Amino acid sequence: MQVTRIDSAQQYEAPEHYAMACLRLQGKEATSTHSMWVGLSHLLPGGHTSLKASPQEKIYVVISGQVTITNGNEVVTLGPLDSCVLSPNEPRALENRTNQPATILLAMEETAQSL
């Protein structure tokens, strides 16, 4: 069993993520998981990502606050414990359009390209 305590989770920089603090909870450099990794991101008011696709399937779960997600065609706003799945190569952009911080959990498959 490999445990990551929130107090020791390591921050990581994600390209084209703005006004966001990202923590690695499982996988990559945090643990030896080989099939997926899990991150926790805190979005400040106005925090956002660029609209971008990747080859990995992604699952987002909002832990607190509200996060607006678009794939370029649809726009949804998720609240606490709402979730969505984005298919491989489906673009996504996240945005916190509120005046309160938001926290979102990301689970994503591990591939050779995401190592």
Q: Dump pLDDT digits (tens) for 22-37.
A: 999 988 888 888 889 9
What are the helix and strand counts (H, E) for the chain? 0, 9
User: What pTM was estimated for this model as a whole?
Assistant: 0.90
Average pLDDT rounded to a whole number, residues 42-65: 97
**Token duo for residue 20:** 């966001």
Which pLDDT score is estimated for 112?
54
Residue 115 has pLDDT above 60, yes or no: no
The predicted-structure confidence for 55-113, as pLDDT tens digits, reads as follows: 999 999 999 999 999 999 999 999 999 999 999 999 999 999 999 999 999 999 987 54
Whether the predicted pLDDT of 7 surpasses 90? yes
Angle at 96 between CA 90 and CA 100, to 5 degrees: 155
114 pLDDT higher than 70: no
Sketch out the chain's domains with CATH numbers: 10-109 (2.60.120.10)
